[in-house]
Amino acid sequence: MFTIMAVLMTLVPPSSQMDEVRRIEREALSQRLAVKSWEVEIHSQTTILDGKPFDHSMEQTFVLFSDGLGQERMDETTLLNGIQSRTVNSHSKKGHIHYIDKDHNKGVKPPIAIVPSKEYNKLYDKKEFAPHKTWDPRILGMIPEGISNLRNYHLEDFVGANNREAFSLDTVEYNGTKCYLIKYKFKGGASAAEWISPDQGYGVVRVESRLGGEVATVRSIDNTLEKNALSGLWYPKTSIFRIATGGRVHHEEMIEVRKASFNQPIDQKVFTLNSISPEPGRAVSIIPGDPSQQREWDGKQIVLSQATPKHVRPSPRQSNTLLFAINGLVFIALGIFILTRKFRKN
């Protein structure tokens, strides 16, 4: 059946072929837009082979939450050169939490930063920043922002993009999967192709862009798709991003989704500082705020730190002593004034 479609596709007039391309790409995008909320765990490994001293491998694990209503959280654990660090970014209706669990400056960990929503929106009101968008289902491969290259490849950069021309449409088999193969050129000069599987929710199983002649630079992404049992949505179980020049791969990022839940209720406690579980006594910085008023996490809530300077945080006993001293000075000054008046009269 698919072979017959392939033959018929070559006989389709250009205008009808473009209509078919648009239909296929709309189906591909609709799968991503159907994701309203999510909870996933993603493991990634990046290998750069540009030659010493730049060769390195980095492993990252992301646990991501979003309720689809502007509340999102990303836990990121990174292992680079044997050093492990954990970063948590949580954005909720109340504000933004930035937490780094890594020793700096001889064992002193940086304070947890908390920015109320109003102030946070002032700092990041430009669309291109969107720092609370930790994970966007429209991104090809559903990749978190922490990934160095894959995060830059949105579906809309390929599927349905406006700056394309010279289309062709065919049907092929790729890695045992029946696919629509759509080829085109970007108006900037690069050529591109996308493989879309109609039997797997119109998921994108491969996309590549090519720039240059014989020694072309090719950027490609290969996805292995899997169907989520509860939601019925197809998503990339694994994504592999490669950069090759002249046929030699020198950059590779591998993404594996280890756990995935879509369109299921998420406990709102996930987006609070309490769920991050920082150690008691950890410094907390509220931005903006009075820098002289030091705060810390006591294991249950944010409290005024015991390290706050005494002139900022006087004890009741200190306050009473200061009050008595002021009153004493007032009485002494009043006594001197009365004695001076009497002396002048005499």
| Banded model confidence at residue 10, pLDDT cuts 50, 70, 90 | very low
Assign residue 245 a region: left if phi > 0, alpha if psi is -120 to 50, beta otherwise? beta
Instruction: Give the phi and the psi of residue 224 in degrees, each rounded to 5.
Output: -105, 115
Question: pLDDT at position 252, please?
Answer: 84
The neighbouring-strand residues paired with 64 are: 40, 74
Average pLDDT over residues 242-257: 86
Q: Of the spans 57-66, 305-314, 318-327, which averages the highest pLDDT?
A: 57-66
* Predicted confidence (pLDDT) at residue 16 exceeds the cutoff of 60: yes
* Predicted confidence (pLDDT) at residue 163 exceeds the cutoff of 80: yes
- Tell me the two tokens of residue 305: 């730190």
244 vs 14, residue with greater confidence: 244
Describe the chain by its helix, strand, coil percentages, rounded to 5.
25, 40, 35
33 vs 19, residue with greater confidence: 19
The neighbouring-strand residues paired with 31 are: none
Question: pLDDT at position 305, please?
Answer: 82
What is the DSSP pairing of strand 282-286 with strand 112-116?
Answer: parallel
The neighbouring-strand residues paired with 91 are: 72, 96
| Banded model confidence at residue 60, pLDDT cuts 50, 70, 90 | confident
Assign residue 81 a region: left if phi > 0, alpha if psi is -120 to 50, beta otherwise? left
Question: pLDDT at position 267, please?
Answer: 92
Q: Which of 119-123, 202-206, 276-280, 339-343 is least confident?
A: 339-343
Percent of the chain with pLDDT over 70: 70
The neighbouring-strand residues paired with 174 are: 177
Report DSSP state, residue 108.
B
Kindly compute the dihedral angle of the four CA atoms of residues 309, 311, 316, 317, in this order, to the nearest 10 degrees: 100
- Tell me the two tokens of residue 309: 């300077």
| Banded model confidence at residue 131, pLDDT cuts 50, 70, 90 | very low
pLDDT digits (tens, 9 = 90+) for 267-322: 999 999 999 888 898 899 888 777 677 889 998 888 988 765 544 444 444 444 44
Distance between CA atoms of 319 and 304, rounded to whole angstroms? 18
Kindly compute the dihedral angle of the four CA atoms of residues 185, 30, 32, 269, in this order, to the nearest 10 degrees: 150
- Tell me the two tokens of residue 96: 């933004």
Distance between CA atoms of 285 and 307, rounded to whole angstroms? 13
To 5 degrees, how large is the angle CA 70–CA 75–CA 81?
145
Instruction: Give the phi and the psi of residue 54 in degrees, each rounded to 5.
Output: -95, -10
Contact between residue 293 and residue 307 where contact means Cβ atoms under 8 Å apart? no
Question: pLDDT at position 134, please?
Answer: 54
* Predicted confidence (pLDDT) at residue 53 exceeds the cutoff of 80: no
Average pLDDT over residues 19-23: 93
Q: Quick one: which of 98, 61, 95 has its CA closest to 254?
A: 61
pLDDT digits (tens, 9 = 90+) for 184-234: 999 878 899 999 999 999 999 999 999 887 788 998 989 999 999 998 989
Contact between residue 256 and residue 237 where contact means Cβ atoms under 8 Å apart? yes
| Banded model confidence at residue 105, pLDDT cuts 50, 70, 90 | low
* Predicted confidence (pLDDT) at residue 246 exceeds the cutoff of 90: no
Question: pLDDT at position 168, please?
Answer: 93
Question: pLDDT at position 47, please?
Answer: 76
Distance between CA atoms of 272 and 114, rounded to whole angstroms? 11
The sign of the dihedral angle between the CA atoms of 254, 73, 159, 237 is positive
Distance between CA atoms of 195 and 171, rounded to whole angstroms? 9
- Tell me the two tokens of residue 346: 């005499």
- Average pLDDT of every residue of the chain: 77
Largest CA distance in the chain: 127
